[in-house]
Amino acid sequence: MNRVHELIADKATRGNDIVQTIGPEQSALDAARLMNRHHIGALAVCDTEGSLVGIITERDILVRIVAGERDPARTLVAEIMNTTVLTCTPETRLEEARKVMREQRVRHLPVLEDGRPIGMVSIGDLNFVEAETLIETIRSLEAYIAGA
């Protein structure tokens, strides 16, 4: 697995959410509930046309709502979302996605096609792929040693 589109396809076969979205006019409470329901740490924020306008993460809710002592039911996603969003495409190499996440200190990259999110890659997804690759390498080496 080398490219983001392969990772998204793999996630889908394992029954994992590819991307969850929320509107900027919805509440932070709605966002938190949606993240909890799907066991995810970020939502793509999309306008009525389906175009990406931001991202909201569990950290945004913690810092801007909980620590800021704001009412999550009365605070709109638009008020706390990040509008500067790092993204990737389906053709982005996984190594490049990992490098961007590490260097920019982000945990989620929306995958865009024609300005619309078609997936979300998390650092956990990339760690899973790397672990699977290492396990396969170990199995191959063990089989080679056993056959020698």
Rounded to whole angstroms, how far apart are CA atoms 128 and 133?
9
Structure-token pair, residue 64? 């801007």
pLDDT confidence of residue 11: 86
Domain 4-147 has CATH 3.40.228.10: no
pTM, whole model, 2 decimals?
0.87
Per-residue confidence in pLDDT tens, the chain, 148 aa: 799 999 999 888 887 777 999 999 999 999 999 999 999 999 999 999 999 999 999 999 999 999 999 999 999 999 999 999 999 999 999 999 999 999 999 999 999 999 899 999 999 999 999 998 889 899 989 988 988 6
Rounded to whole angstroms, how far apart are CA atoms 15 and 120?
14
What amino acid is encoded at 34 in this protein?
L
Rounded to whole angstroms, how far apart are CA atoms 54 and 66?
20
